[in-house]
Amino acid sequence: MQVSYRCDVERAMQLLVDAERVLQEPAPAALLASFGSDGIINLELSFWIEDAAKGTGGVKSQVNQSVWRLFRENGIEIPYAQREIRIIGGDANPVDVAENRREGPATAA
């Protein structure tokens, strides 16, 4: 699960272990896995379920829905990835470049 650097990480981790369908024994664990780019902290939830032999896809989905709801209710932001593009060099004005594309290539007289 990815959360914003601006969020209360400890609160987010507590909400992870409070998710539905997770067994309380052995206790679930929320881990701060890594610091990512784009203002994102990567959290992981480790948990046990009672009926894993029947498949885990549905349980993962239900746990993720529970986490999504808990995060939303508690103001924990899941940020969108952002990219910034910088053009280095050249004196072209971005507006001029856009206008030239619309007009097509210049022709010699």
- Rounded to a whole number of angstroms, the CA Rg of the chain reads 23
Report the distance separating Cα 49 and Cα 26, nearest Å. Answer: 9
Mean pLDDT for each consecutive 10-residue tract of the chain (109 residues)?
85 83 80 83 86 80 88 88 78 62 56
pTM of the model: 0.60
pLDDT for 99 equals 64
Handedness of CA 44, 48, 50, 55 (dihedral sign): positive
Tell me phi and psi for residue 33, to 5 degrees: -80, -40
Task: Quote the DSSP letter at residue 28.
Answer: P
Strand order across the beta sheet in which 29-35 lies: 2-4, 40-46, 29-35
pLDDT for 74 equals 93
Segments making up each domain of the chain, as ranges = 2-73
Structure tokens at 55: 């498949």
pLDDT for 21 equals 62
